[in-house]
Structures are given as C-alpha cells and as structure tokens.
Structure 1
Amino acid sequence: MDPYQTNFAALGALCALLLACQPTRMEKSKPESGSPKRAKPKTFKNPQADYYYVYALVMGADWLQGPYLYSLYKDEHGVSSSVVFALFTTGFLSGGLSAYFVGSLADKYGRKKTCLAFCLLNSASCLLTMVPMVPLLFAGRVLGGISTSILFSVFDSWLVSNFRERRLVEKGCDLSQTYGTMSTINSVTAIASGVMSDVVVWMTGTKKAPFLVSAILLWLATPTIKSRWAENYGSAATKGKKNNETTSMWSIIKRPVIMALALAMTMFEGSMYLFVFFWVPALKSVQQSAGELPYGFIFASFMASVMAASLAFNLVMQRRLMRYSRLLVLLLVVANFVFVKLSSPKTEQSTFWFFCLFEACVGLYFPCIGYLKGRMIEDGIRAKVYSLMRVPLNIFVVVSLIFARESGDFGRVFSVCSMFLTAAFGAVWAVTLNEDIP
C-alpha cells in the first residue's frame, strides 16, 4: 500500500475512534445527583439541525470552488498569470473593503436576510466565473469577496445570537460543542467536495462543472434559511436607537482582548492561506517517492487531521481540561513550531506530518476562536465587529500574496509566518495574564 494511503487510513481510524467517544446531548444535560430530574424529551432532533444542514451546504459550495479555480482561469479560460493574480487579489480586496458595510447592514436589516443575500451573491459569483470574459471574471471575484466576508462573519453572528435567544443551553446544547461540530462538518464536507469536484469534472469534461454544482448547493440552502431560520438583528435595529452605537463598537474593538483576538485571527488564518499556496512546492522539494504525488489522498489526510482535532476539541472542552484562551496560546505556539520546521524541510514523510500537525491546529483553532468571539462580543453589534476583525486579515493576505509572488521561496514565506505567529502568541499570552478570559 502507498505510504499516503496508509497515512490516510490511520488518520481515518483515529477519526472513527474519536467519533465513537463523542458526548451526546443527553449525556451533557444529565442532571447532577440531588437535582430534580428533567422530563425526557419527546424528540431527539438536534435544535441546531437546520443550521448544521445549511452550514454543510454553504461550506460545500465554498470548498467546491477551490480546487479548480486557478486551473479554470489559466487553462480553460486562457487567462494570463498576471491577470489570474489580479483576480485573486481582487477577491481579497473586495472582502476587506466590504467587511464593515456587510456587518453594519446585517445588524441593521437582519442577519437572516444577509445570509440569503450570500446565497444569491455567491451563486452569481459562480456563474460569472464560468464565463470566459475578463470583466465578468473580475465581477465574479468582487461578488466572491463580498460573499466570503458574509460567510465568515454574518453566519457566525446569526448562530450565536440565535443560540442565546432560544436559550439552547437549557435544551442540552453547548456553544463550544456547536463550534466543534461545525469544524467536523466542515472537514467531512471538504473531503466530499474534493471528491465531487473531481468526479463532475471527469463526467462533464469541463472545469466549470464544480462551480455550477456550487451554485446548486447554494440554491438548496436558500429555502431552509428562508423558512426555518428566525431573524435576528443588532442593537440599533432591535432597540430603535443609534446613539452611542459607533462609540460602543469602537470601545469594544479597542479592548486589548479583542485586539489580541484580531491579531491572532490575522496571523493564524493568514498563515493558513499561505500554507494553501505553498504546501505542494514544499512537499515536492523533498519528494523521494517515484511518480506524481497522490494529491487526493494528501488533501484527504489534511482534512482528516482537521476532523480528528475538532472531535478532540469536543472531548477536551467537555471535560474542562483547558481554558479556551490557553488553548489558543498553545495553538499559536505549535503553529509557530510547525512553520519553523517547514522553512527548511528535511524528508518527505516528516514534511507531510508537519502539514498534518498544522491542519490539526486548524481543526482546534476555529471552534476555539469562534467560542471566544461568541463570549467576548455582545450580540447587538456582533456582525459589525466580526466583519471588522477580518479587515486586517484580508490586507495581510493581499500583501503576503504580493510578497510570495515576488519571492517564490516557500522557506522564506514560512519563516515570516513563524515570526508573525510569535507576535500573535505574545499578544494573546499578555492579555490572558491581565484579563479574565474563558
């Protein structure tokens, strides 16, 4: 058996073991000794099932667009490398510039409506990406950037506010476990989307096919959002007053803990984006096996690492073995260590496992940062603050892409990532010493 197939099988077995150990809602809501017994629920349907269903569809739509976007531009549309670079940069700039307005509009007019707008905008982006006309391709990237800003801020804002408004804790739910479950769903969806994108390209003979399937998934998500989700708003919309709203928002953003979280987001997620661009050349530079690398199994192994970590997150946090802020500090340290090692990779297998270790950090990071933001930011201006926290991330990615394009040296890029992660670690660690953070 190929070593990468063996690696994937081992990671898959680990995921299966961790999945079997997962706590259930019934276990979590089990009354303590001496406390009155709760009535048995009449249904075992998870109160967040509708959100998980939509989340799987929208993340599947997002993952489907990744594998063939560059190849579609370059090979099928015949776009030059410089224009392709400009297209990617446009997407990140669009996400950064639209972030504040997206959050403000979501808080004012409704987060559910904004999520519906996401489905429309992202579908349009997919359809425009299929048209081999450069102006329309740029329009597609603009819509894609706005959509990404909504996906990673407004959906999260709706989730946390809905969780509190429905008092789901009383129904045996836990926000921490919710984020862990989302990370697991995201991992499974990523694996399935990677396979699906290959299959539809093979069946149709065109790299446009994954984008059409992505649009279909978004259309499938729309009816559930429209009919099953409750609307929620920011403070200005629900209370009918705007005075001091801006002051309140900036007072929250200027808090050391929020600035530290924003720095951690920028450095960790920015490093993650650069990792996506450079893992292939890094692995090729130390390749010892003959023939083409099995990218499908390697990618599946990365996603299995994310899934295993997200499942472990649920187990660790259910037992309260570590504070979330301390876990974030630990993740930044481990990620820093990984990039130091990857700046001068030695062997093919060690490089592969360092990549898997970083992906495991990703699997722990997203539920951890999601929970911390959910606890530290109030519902009234949640979408605005979430969106603003992504602005430096988009700037970081654009600048990093320019730097990476000019240097082309993955070792140097990974070294810079390790330095940035060190700065983020220092900021978060300092805040945990001075403030009481979950």
Structure 2
Amino acid sequence: MDNYYYPICFGGLVVLCLGLLFAQPTRRQELEQQGIADEDEHPETWWYKAYALAVAADWLQGPYVVALYRDEYSLQPGVVMSLYLTDLIATTVSAYFVGALSDKHGRKLYCMVYCVLYTLSCFLTIVPVTPLLFLGRIFGGISSSILFSVFDSWMVTNFHKKDLAKEACDLSRTYASTAIVNSLVAILTGLLGESLVWATGTKKTPFLVSVALLWVCFQTIWSHWGENFGASSSLASTPAATRPSLWSIIRTPSVLALAFASTMFDSSMNLFALYWGPALSSLHSLATEVPYSTVYSSFMVVSLGAALVFNILMNKRVTTEAQILVAALSVASFCFLKLSSAKTETGAFWLFCLLQGCIGMFVPCVGYLKATLIDDDVRATVYSIMRIPFNILAIISLVTIRDNNNVGGVFATCSLMLIASFTTTLAATLREIL
C-alpha cells in the first residue's frame, strides 16, 4: 500500500457522497406530490441549527481532551485515566436524574443547561489545576447525558406536538437528516480543530471556540424552540391509575430488545474507536506512519454516506427500520469476526469503513424505533435509562482492557456481543414486536 492510497480512497468516498447528496429526497418534492404550497422555512430548521451547534461543540473538543492532559499539562497516565473515568462515571450517575428532571421541568430548559454546563467544562479544562480538571470532567459527563437523551426527546415530542407529519415531514427522515448533520459537523470540526491547533500552537484553542458555539446554541434554543414536558405536564389531568408506569414501559419486550441491541452495538463501536488505530498500525508495512487523520475522515464520510442511503431507502419504503437494524447488527458482527484475524491493511481498512457504514445506518434506525416505542410523557427519562448499561460497560471495558494488546481477541469479543444482540433483535422482529 503506497502513501497515496488513503487520500485516493478518501477522495472517491467524497465523490460518492456528493452523488448520494444530489439524490436525496426533499420535503419540497413531497409537498408538490401532495399539491401543497411550500413554506419559506422548513418547520424543523431551528432543530437542525441548534443540534448542529451542540454537537459541533462536542466534536470540536473531543479529540483534544486527552492530548491536552498528556502533551501540554504532562499529567501522569494514571491521572489521565482517572479523569476519563470521572467523565464516564458522571455520565452514568447523572443519566437517570437528567432524564427525569428534564421531563418534569422542560426539555428546552435542560438543553440550555447543557450549553451552560459544557461551557463551564471547557473553561475548567483549559486551567491546569488538577481538582478543577476533575470538576470539568464531571460537568462534561453531565453534559453528555443531556446531549444524548434530552435533545432527542425534545425533537420527537416537538414533532408530535406540532403534528409535523401533516406538513410533509417524516420522523424517520428527520432522524436520517439529523445523522447527516452530525456526520457533516464531525468532518468540518475535525478540519477546523486541526487548523486551530496548527495556527495557535496550543490544544486549548478548540475549547475556547467550543464556548462560542455553545453560546450561539444557547441563544438559538432560547429564541426559537418551544418548551415541552413529560409526565408532569401532559399527565396532570390523567387519573393516576391509568397513567403508564415508567418501569412497565422499560420492561416491555420491544424496549428491552432495543436497549440490549443499543448497548451491545455502542459498546462494540466504543472498542472499535479505541482499537482501529493500533490494528491498522500493526498491519502497516511502510516506514511512514498511518495517516490517521485521513483514515478518520474517510470513516466520517462513510458514515455520512450510509445516513444518506438510509434517507433514500426510507423515502422509497423498500424496507423497514427494524429490518435495517437487524442487517446492521449482522454485518457489524461479520466485520468484527473478519477483523479478529485480518491479514492485510487494505482489508482491515475497508472492514472498518463497513463498520462505520453500519453506524450510519444504526443510529437513525434506533432513534426512530425509540421514538415509536416510547411515550412522550417519559421519553427523556427512558432514553437516559437506556444509556446507563452502555456507560457501565464503557467503564468496565476501559478498566479491564486498557493494557490489552490482543486486538484480535477484542474484535472477536465484539463479534460475539453483536451476535447476541442480533439474535435478540431478530427474535423481537419475527414476533412483530419492533
């Protein structure tokens, strides 16, 4: 494999994505088919704008947290590990409370709280005082809980509240478009982050730019989002005996199957994120280093392309979200199985790309299925609870495999995890639960 292989692959993937982008279905086409006049502004415009700013702040600083601790602060590896674990523990512990409080006091409010807490986390991260760094990780962990549960909950409830289906919007395509926005933001912030670090000579700069993005996000949410609540509002006039129990919803076989699949898939992809670099490096035959930034950019482009394909499939309704979910789990399991004994760098690279494609398909599938299975009244609470097992597994994985150099064994374990989730999800699908 020569030095030009990865840049050529990246260029080819970008061209493919551009083709898929031009083939995307639009809401205007749907309106024209229904004979409805188009509006000047898409009803979900402010959702996409605020969400893009929120994830941009997260993507921008993410790659530089550990590097800042290690390279500029010269912290010992044990301290860096403790800081990382503190973030995960804070995410896990705060998950239930964040969901329940946002359902009670308002999802819009807690999305703004995300902006405030993450801003504090950014400021504390650029101060090289160890106790403040730990406090910054706690705020960062709580912010992660909000980002991965409350934002999604607000969007779905807002979709139902405003009955956007009557305006030629489709929740499945909304999730696909959200995944597309996320992938585009990841690519652009990756380039921006590298440019900022290169121009300023310090890894603190992305955190300061994140603060600016969070401020704009706060203003956008404050000005353009409506508030929506959970049980405290919508069930206030409903007799207690007829209200759906939180734990009865969680124990529903469909929700359990989806939660298990999400936990196994996300945990496997967390390990993929930790080990793809060492795996490619071990197979690299050239004297030069693997161009990690180009490879990572290729992964992001593949994820974007998969989300674009998902959008087209859902528009044509040639398959269902549940079927795509099962397919993504089975393909990901196959990829990990092959990677456990990969012999060539080229083969490993394309298997990693296929895994990234599975992520691009899996995320909107799970989002849509959760939206259809879980009631708006307890949406944020259930979403938060569903992420707790993943957070616990992430902590366990980080502690148990941090010194594990057996990449093949790790990938084989991921394959087994996905086989288990595939079996569970397939059984649920065959019983018409999902």
TM-score interval, normalised by the smaller of the two chains: over 0.9
Q: Deviations over 1:45-74 (max 9, x none)?
A: 211111111111111111111211111011
Whether 1:209 aligns to 2:211 is no
Whether 1:335 aligns to 2:337 is no
Of residues 305, 308, 314, the one that matches 1:311 is: 308
Q: Which residue of 2 aligns with 1:92?
A: 88
2:245 partner SS: helix
Q: Which residue of 2 aligns with 1:353?
A: 350
1:71 and 1:31 mapped to 2: Cα distance? Answer: 52
1:245 and 1:192 mapped to 2: Cα distance? Answer: 48
Q: Which residue of 2 aligns with 1:266?
A: 263
Pairing 1:366-385 to 2, within 5 Å after superposition = 366-385=363-382
Give the deviation of 1:246 after TM superposition.
8.9
1:407 partner SS: coil
Give the deviation of 1:31 after TM superposition.
4.0
Pairing 1:114-193 to 2, within 5 Å after superposition = 114-193=110-189
Q: Deviations over 1:239-278 (max 9, x none)?
A: 3269469961100100111011111111111111111111
Using a 3 Å threshold, how does the CA distance of structure 1 residues 134 and 25 change in structure 2: closer, same or farther?
Answer: same
Q: Which residue of 2 aligns with 1:230?
A: 226
- Retained in 2: the 8 A contact 1:286–1:347? yes
Q: Which residue of 2 aligns with 1:26?
A: 28
Whether 1:68 aligns to 2:64 is yes
Amino acid at match of 1:3: Y
* TM-score computed with the length of structure 2 as normaliser: 0.96
Amino acid at match of 2:429: T
1:42 and 1:368 mapped to 2: Cα distance? Answer: 28
| Unpaired stretches in structure 1, ≥5 consecutive residues | none
Q: Which residue of 2 aligns with 1:250?
A: 247
Using a 3 Å threshold, how does the CA distance of structure 1 residues 50 and 201 change in structure 2: closer, same or farther?
Answer: same
Using a 3 Å threshold, how does the CA distance of structure 1 residues 209 and 246 change in structure 2: closer, same or farther?
Answer: farther
2:27 and 2:84 mapped to 1: Cα distance? Answer: 42
Q: Which residue of 1 aligns with 2:192?
A: 196
- Retained in 1: the 8 A contact 2:328–2:362? yes
Using a 3 Å threshold, how does the CA distance of structure 1 residues 245 and 391 change in structure 2: closer, same or farther?
Answer: farther
Amino acid at match of 2:280: L
How large is the Cα RMSD of the aligned pairs? 1.5
- Retained in 1: the 8 A contact 2:254–2:433? no
Q: Which residue of 1 aligns with 2:12?
A: 10
* TM-score computed with the length of structure 1 as normaliser: 0.96
Give the deviation of 1:236 after TM superposition.
2.0
Q: Deviations over 1:25-61 (max 9, x none)?
A: 12223446xxxx43x2342x21111111111111111
Q: Deviations over 1:301-328 (max 9, x none)?
A: 0000000000000111111111111111
- Retained in 2: the 8 A contact 1:287–1:348? yes
- Retained in 2: the 8 A contact 1:54–1:225? yes
Runs of 4+ aligned structure 1 residues displaced above 6 Å come to: none
1:427 and 1:148 mapped to 2: Cα distance? Answer: 28
Give the deviation of 1:189 after TM superposition.
0.7
Whether 1:387 aligns to 2:384 is yes
Say how many residue pairs are matched: 431
Amino acid at match of 1:425: F
Give the deviation of 1:83 after TM superposition.
1.2
Q: Deviations over 1:208-251 (max 9, x none)?
A: 11111111111111111001000000022333269469961100
- Retained in 2: the 8 A contact 1:22–1:314? yes
1:145 and 1:244 mapped to 2: Cα distance? Answer: 36
Q: Which residue of 2 aligns with 1:275?
A: 272
Using a 3 Å threshold, how does the CA distance of structure 1 residues 244 and 157 change in structure 2: closer, same or farther?
Answer: farther
Using a 3 Å threshold, how does the CA distance of structure 1 residues 42 and 429 change in structure 2: closer, same or farther?
Answer: closer
| Unpaired stretches in structure 2, ≥5 consecutive residues | none
1:24 and 1:162 mapped to 2: Cα distance? Answer: 20
- Retained in 2: the 8 A contact 1:236–1:245? no
Amino acid at match of 2:202: T
Q: Deviations over 1:330-388 (max 9, x none)?
A: 10101111111111221111111111100011111111100000011010000000000
Pairing 1:426-437 to 2, within 5 Å after superposition = 426-437=423-434
Whether 1:397 aligns to 2:394 is yes
Whether 1:413 aligns to 2:410 is yes
2:192 and 2:254 mapped to 1: Cα distance? Answer: 41
